[in-house]
Chain A
Amino acid sequence: MADVATNATRTSLSMRQPGATRDPVRVALLLAAILLCAAKPILPDFLVRLPEAWIPPLAQWLDAFFDFITGDMQEGRFGLIYITRWFAEGPLDFLLGVTANLLEGKYRWPYMADPIPWAAVAGLAAVIGYYLGGWKLSLLAGGTFVWTAFMGQWELTMQTLSVLLVAAPLGFFVGLIVGIAAWKYKWFDNAIKPLLAVMQTLPFYTYLLPAVIFFKVGPTAGAIATTIYATPPMILMTTVGLKKVSPEIVEAGKMSGASRWQMLTKVFIPSARTEILVGVNQVIMLCLAMVVLTAFIGMPGLGGKLLAMMNSLKLGRSFEIGITIVLVAITLDRLSKAWVRKLPEHHPKDTPFYIRYKYTVLSVVVFAGLYLLAQPIEILNEVGRRQSLSMGREIDGVFETFLNLDSVEAITGTIRYVLNVWVLIPFRDALLWIPTSAFILLVVAFAYGVGGKKPAIYAAIFFSIVAFSGWWDRSVITLYSVLSAMAISMMIGIPIGILAARSEKWSERMLLACDTAQTFPSFIYLLPAIMLFGITDTTVVLSIVIFTMVPLTRYTIEGLRSVPPELTEAADMAGCSRWQKLTSVQLPLAMPTMAVGFNQGIMFAFFMVIIAAFIGTQDLGQELQRTLAGTDLGKNFVLGINVSLMALTFDMAILSWANRRKKALGLD
């Protein structure tokens, strides 16, 4: 027994870094990079920074290109904008009008005089929650809407939901159709894969500007930006699901004489239900995240109010809105996940119809009942401002007291000083000091060492494009924030994950905390962070850390808990101490999963670093935010692509490593 365990230990140790240190290519790349750095004073200028003259006017070219395809309505030059504007002003505006009329009472078709009373919506949500997941879910779903109403945020929430109600189904249908096409036609799949990869890493600011230009400012642009942002996972999940349908079911369908259309609608799609619904869940979650962020292009609703509250420094109210967003997000997440798990149940023959359709009947009764009840009873219809239970001021007070505590100030002051002056600023200056050529070589060496040849080649191409885009320094600063944040969140997130993974109970609690932290709108963190750490790099990095820690902790827990029990048992029997077991059995086996978390962390960091422009940065995010105010599509796009390319470099390297490790460990 002991032999087995020690053997396992030995192999795991020797496998830990597959040929990492002595690979000649890697060594050569590193040496070259170091040489270039050492020789910086005598290097020709173009190796240090590309001269301005070499940088192609990408933005202008793109502008000209966009201009051409956009067309101009005032000049009557036909282009894409005719189509998009037609769509925005026709069907999309109609749909948004319908939901806005029903939920907010906006003056649109079907011209209902009053919006649906909150009590009726909450009741309906409770019934649906009960149907999908029993009492707990019923309480969560109903409770969320009751909270919303009593916090005086009903209208805001409905403004957000009325867009979500259009954007999410739109994302679902587009994703489904594109997913089916990608599954059916290999060439199409190959064509959209890189596009999807870029879309998933593109900063959300890059979606916003084109949305406004093509789809008109207001809810239509918001709905479109939201849809585009949320669709990629739906496409991927649809394709995955369809590919997974068992060949026998396919053959059974064919042998039943199903035509192609019947095959698709009656065999493939229903059989891929689980994956498609997982896609739906992701669409809903991303839509909600984005619909809040569209506040930046002027979408009303929870996000818009949040931004307004923050702009008048009302932390308490902002915080309450944040809680509402979390509640809505968790409710929608849990409901749609329960829907994934929900399997149809049969009823015995001759079940009367009101039992067979008891949930439908119950929904109608509850909804109609509360609707009618709300007519005479005003509080069920609308909770007035003075009746609401908002505690904004009280929370403000708590915040203020906390922030003004001398001990808090002393601690944050020290952290701010140490991190900024000793760590972050020197690190940033060092990165900026490195000649561009050496920087690219370092990144390539990293990609090569971690991911292998292919990621290395892509790293070289991607970072060269970044260099030629003319935004090198800002890109390096962006990367610097991301790397610093990742380093700090690893130091915090991984130990937390390891500790939590030791018990089932704590794992679950921690995972719930992760869910909450992830759905809490990211820019709420920013204000308290500024008050604690000033408008400095520390604030930027720490607010990214809050976000990136989540996947690190989550995947550490999941990785550790998925280690096969017989291996830990073998380690126990071999007399491993807790620490030995952790370092030589559990962590090596959890590494591939943790790498996925690490990767997600980096993606989150690239997302958050852009939002951190709200604090005040000197990176790509700041420039991106600036483009929002204008019509510089070309520049907006170039900046966005830079972020995307850097993110993809890491994505490819790390995922390729994780996949290889999984294969080597036989985990997949």
Chain B
Amino acid sequence: MKIHSMMSVAAVALASASAGFAAEDSSEPIVIPIHNWSSQIVMSHVVGQIYEEMGNNVEFVTTDSQAVYESVRLGDVTLELEVWEGAFGASFREALEKGGLHDAGDHDAVTREDWWCPMWTKDACPGLPDWKALNDCAELFATPETGDKGLFLDGPVDWLKHGKERAEALDLNYVVKNAGSAAALWAHIASAEEDKTPILVFNWTPNFAEAVWPGEFVEFPAWEDGCDTDPAVGPNPDALYDCGNPADGYLKKAAWDGMEEKWPNAYEVLTKISFTNAQIAEMAKLVDVEDYEPEEAAEIWLEDNEDVWKGWLPGGDT
């Protein structure tokens, strides 16, 4: 591995020399945030290792995935590699308005976050994934605590998923409960797995769970712009949140406004970076299924996908 890295450093050095860059990157470390899901961690290390091979100093900080935009805005953190439309769109836009960070382009990958059920649930409720089947199956999803209403386990409150509002807006006979963490969601799915208990939980893609528990998103009325701001949009004229989340949400990169000036080369690479759903799933799998440490997973991925990332390097596409 070491020899390999040295070789690529040499290659990069050669490449940059031939391209004859005028601007030099600052030697201060580029601060890359790390959150608490695997694909993001591996992706951060992949990009970090690319930067290191370019000769930059890189530092990783683990941060909260919502609070990070404030940090990027202030320059405490240099960039953010996974801006999910559904989960972080609001925080991202808020920070964007305050100023200090900007959109550094989309990944190829699309994201989706919505109500979800594992495959085994379909046996009990064949009407799924159409949302109209939900009320008929409500009792299947009931627990001792919810009586005859069904239980939908939503993401943590700080993800701002508006499950309760949607249940009300679409008149669903469900109790919406917030899990406290992603881990709580997984534990809930895992404990239902053995007995194939029907469950309805919040889930998203890409993540490791799809490899472990195959399942389907519930098909709600399709997302229309304004569904979250204008009651008239969507099937229920009096309510907000009466449609599903966007089925092809963006996955963006964001950068601190000062990055371009301070690390021009690294910035250029950042704007070119683009991962696909398959690549992201592979990164997650290396850690979550194959038990590699994120750093190792990043090295392996880089090794296996040289043709992908070499093209992003300065002068690489010339």
Q: How many inter-chain contacts with C-beta < 8 Å in the A-B complex? A: 148
B181 touches A300 (CB 8 A): no
Does B82 touch A at the CB level, under 8 Å?
no
Does A592 touch B at the CB level, under 8 Å?
no
Does B144 touch A at the CB level, under 8 Å?
yes
Distance of A385 Cα from B293 Cα, bound (Å)? 8
Contacts of B181 in A (CB 8 A): 310-311, 614-616
Distance of A540 Cα from B187 Cα, bound (Å)? 14
Does B222 touch A at the CB level, under 8 Å?
no
State whether A628 and B67 are in contact (beta carbons under 8 Å apart), knowing that A216-B76, A218-B76, A616-B178 are contacts in the complex.
Answer: yes
Interface string of B60-83 (1 = CB under 8 A from A): 111111111011001011000000
Contacts of B182 in A (CB 8 A): 311
Residues of A251-298 whose CB lies within 8 A of B: 295-298
Most buried by B among A106, A307, A612, A629: A629
Contacts of B68 in A (CB 8 A): 217
B64 touches A535 (CB 8 A): no
- Give the shortest distance, in Å, between B29 (CB) and chain A (any CB): 7
Contacts of A613 in B (CB 8 A): 180
Distance of A295 Cα from B61 Cα, bound (Å)? 11
B179 touches A615 (CB 8 A): yes
Interface string of A304-335 (1 = CB under 8 A from B): 10011011111000000000000000000000
Distance of A595 Cα from B293 Cα, bound (Å)? 47
- Give the shortest distance, in Å, between A91 (CB) and chain B (any CB): 18
Contacts of B61 in A (CB 8 A): 217-219, 298, 300
Does A30 touch B at the CB level, under 8 Å?
no
Contacts of A618 in B (CB 8 A): 178
Contacts of B38 in A (CB 8 A): 308, 312
Does A90 touch B at the CB level, under 8 Å?
no
Does B225 touch A at the CB level, under 8 Å?
no
Q: Which of A308, A527, A630 contacts B66 (CB 8 A)?
A: A630
Does A107 touch B at the CB level, under 8 Å?
yes
Does B291 touch A at the CB level, under 8 Å?
yes
State whether A311 and B36 are in contact (beta carbons under 8 Å apart), knowing that A393-B291, A531-B191, A534-B188 are contacts in the complex.
Answer: yes
B145 touches A536 (CB 8 A): yes
Q: Which of A300, A385, A616 contacts B156 (CB 8 A)?
A: A616
Does B177 touch A at the CB level, under 8 Å?
yes
| B208, closest chain A residue (CB) | A312
Residues of B26-80 whose CB lies within 8 A of A: 29, 31, 33-34, 36-38, 41, 57, 59-68, 70-71, 74, 76-77
B158 touches A626 (CB 8 A): yes
Q: Which of A73, A307, A416, A622 contacts B180 (CB 8 A)?
A: A622
Q: How many residues of A contact B (CB 8 A)?
A: 59
Distance of A417 Cα from B62 Cα, bound (Å)? 39
Does B157 touch A at the CB level, under 8 Å?
yes
- Give the shortest distance, in Å, between B227 (CB) and chain A (any CB): 23
Contacts of A612 in B (CB 8 A): 180
Distance of A631 Cα from B64 Cα, bound (Å)? 12
- Give the shortest distance, in Å, between B137 (CB) and chain A (any CB): 19
Contacts of B180 in A (CB 8 A): 535, 612-617, 622, 625
- Give the shortest distance, in Å, between A635 (CB) and chain B (any CB): 13
- Give the shortest distance, in Å, between B191 (CB) and chain A (any CB): 4
| B186, closest chain A residue (CB) | A313
Contacts of A298 in B (CB 8 A): 33-34, 61-64
Does A403 touch B at the CB level, under 8 Å?
yes
Does A57 touch B at the CB level, under 8 Å?
no
Contacts of B33 in A (CB 8 A): 298
- Give the shortest distance, in Å, between A100 (CB) and chain B (any CB): 10
Does B255 touch A at the CB level, under 8 Å?
no
Distance of A536 Cα from B184 Cα, bound (Å)? 11
Contacts of A311 in B (CB 8 A): 36-37, 181-183, 186
| A297, closest chain B residue (CB) | B64
A297 touches B63 (CB 8 A): yes
A392 touches B64 (CB 8 A): no
Contacts of A625 in B (CB 8 A): 156-158, 180
| A629, closest chain B residue (CB) | B66
Contacts of B77 in A (CB 8 A): 217
B187 touches A421 (CB 8 A): no
Residues of A103-146 whose CB lies within 8 A of B: 106-107
Distance of A219 Cα from B62 Cα, bound (Å)? 9
Q: Which of B60, B67, B157, B190 contacts A313 (CB 8 A)?
A: B190
Does A420 touch B at the CB level, under 8 Å?
yes
Residues of B150-188 whose CB lies within 8 A of A: 153, 156-158, 177-184, 186-188
A–B Cβ pairs within 8 angstroms, 9 of them = A217-B63, A218-B76, A308-B38, A312-B208, A393-B291, A527-B184, A530-B188, A615-B181, A616-B179
Closest 6 A-B residue pairs measured CB to CB?
A629-B66, A298-B62, A298-B63, A530-B187, A313-B186, A616-B180
**Given A614-B184, A625-B157: 11 more A-B contacts, CB < 8 Å:** A74-B74, A217-B61, A217-B67, A218-B63, A308-B38, A311-B183, A420-B144, A526-B184, A531-B187, A531-B191, A630-B66
